[in-house]
Amino acid sequence: MNYLSTRGHADRKRFCEILLEGLAPDGGLYLPETYPQVDTATLAKWRTLPYNELAFEILSLYVDDIPAADLKAICAKTYTAEVFGTDEIVPLRELEDGVYLEALSNGPTLAFKDMAMQLLGNLFEYELARRGAELNILGATSGDTGSAAEYAMRGKKGVRVFMTSPDGRMSPFQQAQMFSLQDANIHNIAITGVFDDCQDIVKAVSNDLAFKRKYRIGTVNSINWARLLAQVVYYFAGYFQATASNDKPVSFTVPSGNFGNVCAGHVARMMGLPIQTLVVATNENDVLDEFFRTGVYRVRAAVDTHETSSPSMDISKASNFERFVFDLVGRDAARLRQLFVDDLGLTGSFDLSADPAFKQAAERFGFRSGRSTHADRLAMIRDTEKRFATLIDPHTADGLKAAREQLVPGVPMVVLETALPIKFAATVVEALGEEPARPKKFEGIEALPKRVVQLPADAEAVKAYIAQHCD
């Protein structure tokens, strides 16, 4: 399998070449040249596989530069009941007739990002050892990504993590999760500033090419193809649990920010998994909902990005969206460049409302969307607790709200649970007046010793810290 850039660069790459990379050299995102097709006989074979073997089968279609036995061992080591809490790994629970929650949040940091990041940690360690190389991961986080990356990379050979976060802005639970890690290869850097300052620092350091090369700086952000690929697996696993045979359509609703999660659903659908509808759920930061309603994609400025009670969806532009639009415009790289380089670059938006391609988003690709407010979120958390005795987190609540607006009789609707309520306790308390349950292994973590340095919002200070800790 070869990978191309959405912006038309002539190079073709293989999986392990793009594993440790971010954007393609022309600023595009990597996608496979074609989507492997899965027929009904294959679906029938896959239906009964344990999760780690299903992951191996799906990854094998996209990875041809890791020996099969090694890839199989990596999948087996990653997706265990020990790490993810159950043998099913992503158990499905029926809330009411035809409405399901797929649990993706029982990994080490209690958010769905573990599903991909745990695999990435093992793939990185494998590939770096094979190359005899090292990598220093530099990241910016407002919570979920940073902790998932740290728990995936802790103790891994050849990898260090330097994770910046806005000082004092994460929830106490999120801070405790990250800062209590004592592993020597994990570095928490609390920046005096906001999340945008952290992102600017990561950009500034990455743009210093000499520094980047010398200190082998890499990232694990959501545009990484391997992360996306790992997420494709749980759409298949969810489908198999929601149906008794492989001719039944199923719909999914996905709480969305950077469009990484739902883009994996799009890939699963392109492979032939019988997905009827993919519902993109947003919060007040509704760039994506606006696009699917109107055909206009209008990125927001930082000042117009709301701080909401589903903070992991607070984005001003959706970094994976370019992948879907590439398919939407028939993989026409020149057209894609016009939209994402010319139009977005000049005006901050593009408009497909009059383009025949826009209709295809719903008709051919099955996309719908929805939007929630803080009040919707609270109402959904209360309703789910009251009627089904189930506690959900604010992001999952955004999903459930959008899902209910798109139900079709006879078609199971699977809502992806993207975090556990304990991670966002304040909003759950606001809705219900009670603290969500806390898994045993997280009891008292706020009191553990913290390993974190404070630095000013200054790329030079962060560079100096990295240089100092790289030998």
Ligand X SMILES: *Cc1c(COP(=O)(O)O)cnc(C)c1O
Q: Which residue, 107 or 158, has its beta carbon nearer to ligand X?
A: 107
Task: Mark residues 193-232: x for contact with ligand X by CB under 6 A, - for none.
Answer: -----------------------------x----------
Residue 259 CB, shortest distance to ligand X, in Å, is 5
Stretch of residues binding ligand X (CB under 6 A), selected from 26-34, 166-174, 199-207, 253-261: 253-261
Instruction: Point out which span in 41-49, 257-265, 269-277, 382-390 binds ligand X (CB under 6 A).
Output: 257-265
Residue 334 structure tokens: 């020149």
- Per CB under 6 A, the list member of 6, 258, 308, 309 interacting with ligand X is 258
Cβ(278)–Cβ(433) below 8 Å: no
Write the single-letter amino acid at 351: D
- Do residues 68 and 60 touch, judged by C-beta distance below 8 A? yes
| Residue written as token pair 């399998």 | 1
What string marks each residue from 115 to 154 as x (binds ligand X by CB under 6 A) or -?
A: -----------------------------x----------
CA–CA gap between residue 422 and residue 437 (Å, rounded): 7
DSSP character at residue 334: H
Residues 260-279 within binding reach of ligand X (CB under 6 A): 260-261
Please state, in angstroms and rounded to a whole number, the distance separating the CA atoms of residues 23 and 9: 12
Q: Which two tokens stand for residue 220?
A: 């694990």
For ligand X, the closer of residues 261 and 277 by Cβ is 261
Q: Which is nearer to ligand X, 144 or 322 (CB)?
A: 144
Of 13, 72, 113, 317, catalytic:
113
CB closer to ligand X, 107 vs 257: 257
Q: Spell out the alpha helix ranges (H) of 90-171.
A: 113-131, 144-153
Does position 323 bind ligand X by CB under 6 A? no
CB 288 within 8 A of CB 274: no
Q: How many residues bind ligand X (CB under 6 A)?
A: 16
Instruction: Considering the complex, state which of residue 144 and residue 385 has its C-beta at the smaller distance from ligand X.
Output: 144
Q: Stretches 4-12, 122-130, 258-266, 438-446: which one binds ligand X (CB under 6 A)?
A: 258-266
3-state secondary structure of 254: strand
Shortest separation between residue 69's beta carbon and ligand X, angstroms? 31
Q: Which stretch binds ligand X (CB under 6 A): 63-71, 207-215, 256-264, 353-361?
A: 256-264
Q: How many residues does the chain have?
A: 471
Non-local CB neighbours of 179 within 8 Å, separated by 6+ positions: 188, 450, 451, 452
Question: Residue 171 CB, nearest distance to ligand X (Å)?
Answer: 12
Quick note: the x/- pattern for ligand X over 401-440, rule CB under 6 A, is -----------------xx---------------------
Contacts of 364 (CB under 8 A, 6+ apart): none
Q: What is the rounded CA–CA span in Å between residue 393 and residue 386? A: 14
Six-digit token string for 354: 């009059």
Among 20, 111, 140, 232, contact with ligand X (rule: CB under 6 A): 111
CA-based nearest residue to 184, from 451, 448, 442: 451
Q: Is 113 a catalytic residue?
A: yes
- Of residues 341 through 400, those in contact with ligand X by CB under 6 A are 395
Distance CA 42, CA 24 (A): 32
Q: Kindly tell me which of 425 and 459 has the beta carbon lying closer to ligand X.
A: 425
What sign results for the dihedral spanned by CA atoms 31, 32, 33, 38? negative
The residue range among 74-82, 121-129, 254-262, 435-443 that interacts with ligand X, by the rule CB under 6 A, is: 254-262
Please provide the distance, in angstroms rounded to a whole number, between the alpha carbons at the two ends of the chain.
37
In whole angstroms, give the CA distance from residue 39 to residue 80.
27
Q: Which tokens sit at 71? A: 């890839």
Chain-centroid distance of CA 177 in Å reads 19
Q: Measured from the CB of residue 212, what is the shortest distance to ligand X in angstroms?
A: 24
Select 372 or 418, whichever has its Cβ closest to ligand X. 418
> In the set 28, 257, 370, 421, which binds ligand X (CB under 6 A)?
257
Is 113 a binding residue for ligand X by CB under 6 A? The answer is yes
Piece of 212-220, 251-259, 333-341, 446-454 that binds ligand X (CB under 6 A): 251-259
Q: Tell me what percent of the chain is helix, strand and coil, each rounded to the nearest 5.
A: 45, 15, 35
* Site residues (CB under 6 A) for ligand X, limited to 277-316: 312-313
Residues 6+ apart with CB under 8 A from 410: 98
What does the binding site for ligand X look like in residue numbers (CB under 6 A)?
A: 111, 113, 144, 222, 255-261, 312-313, 395, 418-419
Residues assigned a catalytic role: 113
